Amino acid sequence: DDGNKPVAVVKDVILAADGGLGDLLTVGGGSASTYQLGDPIREDFFVQLVGSEVYKNAVRSMSDISKELLAKHNLTIDDVDVLLPHQANLRIMDAVGKKLNIPTEKVFCNIERYGNTSAGSVPIALTEARNSGFIKENERMLICAFGAGFTWGAALLEF
C-alpha cells in the first residue's frame, strides 16, 4: 500500500475447465514438439483457433461464471462497480458486458493500448485500473477471464 491507492481484498474466486474443447484453441511446441536451433518453425508452433467457437464459449463461460460468483454471495450486477474482463478481444469484452447487463462505462478496457497480452492481461489491467483511479476505495470489482485449454474463472475483489 502506497497510501494513495486502494488495496484489494480477494473475497472469492471460482475456476472451471473443459479439456474436451481444447482442440478449439491450441498452440504447439513445448515438450511434445522438440525444436533444435535452426529448424524451420512449423505451423503448429503458432496459436490456432476456431474463432467463432472460441468467441461463443468465451462469452458464455465468462458470463455464466460471473453470475455464479455473484449469486454465491447474494449479489447482483448492481453491486459491482467495475467489471474487468480478460483483455483478449474487444468484441468478447463487449458481449460479456452486455450479457451481464453492465454499463460500458463500468467495464475497464485497455486492449487498445496493449493488444492481447494473453495470461498477463488481467494483472496488467488490474494494475492500470488501480493506478489510474478507475477503481476507487470502497468499490467492488468483478474479474472474469477465459483461456486456452479451455479454462475460465471469475474473482470478486473489494477495495
Model pLDDT for residues 67-76, shown as the tens digit of each residue: 999 999 999 9
Cell (9 digits) for 21: 474443447
To the nearest 10 degrees (0 to 180), the angle between helices 51-72 and 90-100 is 40
What 3-state class would DSSP assign to 84?
strand
Q: Which long-range contacts (CB under 8 A, 24 or more apart) does 43-52 make?
A: 47/148, 49/24, 49/25, 50/24, 50/25
Confirm if 92 and 85 have CB atoms less than 8 A apart.
yes
- pLDDT score of 39 more than 90: no
| pLDDT at 29 (0 to 100) | 66
Report pTM: 0.86
The residue-averaged pLDDT of 17-25 equals 89
Where is pLDDT greater, at 43 or 71? 71
- pLDDT score of 1 more than 60: no
